[in-house]
Structure 1
């Protein structure tokens, strides 16, 4: 009973006794069993991390999770990983707060060390938007390769052959598969990708600006640029406008995700729709399932993609 009072922060414990209990807790590496606590209180606590505060995906990610948490009667603890020296420390903060499960976005969902640390702590993990769902681990994902294939084929069908690609953060499995989808679709069409037409964008708007300046500064400019997310595609559009290029008459631009930025730039972006809000809601449901002894611990949810054609793509200049 005394140990329980110390662990739960109750007063009326003699300082000398509290110190002994805290030393024992530290030596044993003890962590409270958050799932047992949730069973007693009837409330599930789910930790949720995000890694890119400037991403146009963030609002849909959070709102989808909030909506489902409200419907399901669970509590969400949100933690930005960028607020900590390392992502592992952000995860540990949620573990220390007593969450029963954690939703991990890229690239955290692909970090073997983080997944292992959560397993040792007895905390479940749901991989969100990973491109490589693991057997036995719950995950919500899309087919990133197929999405990139669809968009590349769309540009090829319009008649483009000089297609450039702005890649995302190489630490993300999603970025790797989107680039692979682009390259293999080009190869299937009998086209060799000019490496000067592949630029680093890091999934950020600023990275997209740098990539666009490089690509549009080439002596032989591409007729189309496919960016691995909408933020980078919007940056390409901004640089193109600054150079006096007409979109899509002089340059076609395509993105990926169909975030709000896709319809706030002009012209609106052709993109691949990824239902982020619905995926976040599914992640919350999977996280709650981990607290149920009879649940399938490795449940996978694959969301459907859709190519959304808007005004930013057209046949290449004659």
Structure 2
């Protein structure tokens, strides 16, 4: 594995114009100490995060990356590439509020890059629509050899048009829209959600709430489609009151729970579009004295680490996020080694899996209500 030079930690200072003199001057250089101060991490930890080294807690890694982003702390990536006139930088672009998702994506990519001369650069995108028109400039300034896009960027035609113009190979993770000449790694979100809904139906549930993710993420819409398909196939009409808006964050699960608990009659099960929101519902149920799963079944999607930490452990649909990122990175490396040939572009579909744990069971609450009504 190519050793890192000290230049890997050199960061460029921005320039600005003095309004009084009209001259161009340098702004104070942002240093690693500034990132450490903002993130609350040690300088050594910040260096390890920026160099993509292991053994850093996920939450600390995310804090450091966010601090570096807020401070506009960009590495001088030219140092490593100048010697051989070849770029060894792969950019991973993401817009996802779930820290579990981001960590899994990063882990998968880094696992594949282990032993390779390439480094991974993480690019958080706060609003992908405001990102339009900036991709080529970022590729050039960062010296990227290849790009990995995660949702919703992996489905944005304007961003992909820019990448096509740049000539830089790119791979999409969880892209749902077909794109000629663009390799994609994904699962069948609609089918996976249909299977999860059918699992709840098989337990005896009929009044099943669905917590949606951010609608700009096509996978969220595909999961909702699977939920609707399963209910309609079972002869159960879609109740708009049982469809709750969310945004993939734990906090939106807490907020959605208040709406769900206020429904009369209350649903006997909740299918959340990801594990973070499902954990929020479980937490809110504890706070309201609602037993999970005896009084309310809760299921999620992703099989993140969080799903096996909370209690009860969450029944979920496994989306192999790390494996998807690993495979996407493998494709990028092959494209860089063998050339960008659109005729040989391949899409990869990975398997999903229902992971049954402790948060779902038969609808006992509904059975009690039916007996009382009789």
Normalised by the shorter chain, which TM-score bucket?
Answer: 0.7 to 0.9
The 5-angstrom pairing of residues 1-318 of structure 1 reads 40-41=84-85, 44-82=88-126, 86-88=130-132, 91=135, 92-291=137-336, 292-293=338-339, 295=341, 298-317=345-364, 318=367
Deviation of 1:265 after TM superposition, in Å, equals 0.9
Between the aligned partners of 2:165 and 2:197, the Cα distance in structure 1 is: 42
Residue 19 (structure 1) aligns with:
none
Between the aligned partners of 1:76 and 1:129, the Cα distance in structure 2 is: 19
Deviation of 1:45 after TM superposition, in Å, equals 2.1
Contact 2:98 2:248 in 1 (8 A): no
Aligned residues: 283
Contact 1:45 1:101 in 2 (8 A): yes
Say which SS state the counterpart of residue 114 (structure 2) adopts: helix
Over residues 15-50 of structure 1, what are the superposed CA-to-partner deviations in whole Å (9 max), with x where a residue is unaligned? xxxxxxxxxxxxxxxxxxx9xx79955663211112
TM-score by length of 1: 0.83
Residues 209 and 172 from structure 1, CA distance in 2 versus in 1: closer, same or farther, beyond 3 angstroms? same
Aligned Cα RMSD in Å?
A: 2.2
Mean CA deviation greater in 307-316 or 98-107:
98-107
Between the aligned partners of 1:84 and 1:145, the Cα distance in structure 2 is: 24
Deviation of 1:173 after TM superposition, in Å, equals 1.0
TM-score by length of 2: 0.71
Structure 2: tracts of 5 or more residues without a match: 1-77, 368-374
Deviation of 1:155 after TM superposition, in Å, equals 0.1
Deviation of 1:178 after TM superposition, in Å, equals 0.3
Between the aligned partners of 2:234 and 2:83, the Cα distance in structure 1 is: 56
Deviation of 1:249 after TM superposition, in Å, equals 0.4
Contact 1:164 1:225 in 2 (8 A): yes
Say which SS state the counterpart of residue 90 (structure 2) adopts: strand
Between the aligned partners of 2:212 and 2:228, the Cα distance in structure 1 is: 11
Say which SS state the counterpart of residue 213 (structure 1) adopts: helix
Residues 240 and 117 from structure 1, CA distance in 2 versus in 1: closer, same or farther, beyond 3 angstroms? same
Deviation of 1:310 after TM superposition, in Å, equals 0.5
Between the aligned partners of 2:281 and 2:170, the Cα distance in structure 1 is: 36
Higher RCO (CA-CA < 8 Å; seq separation 6+): 1
Deviation of 1:210 after TM superposition, in Å, equals 1.6
Structure 1: tracts of 5 or more residues without a match: 1-33
Deviation of 1:242 after TM superposition, in Å, equals 1.1
Deviation of 1:150 after TM superposition, in Å, equals 1.0
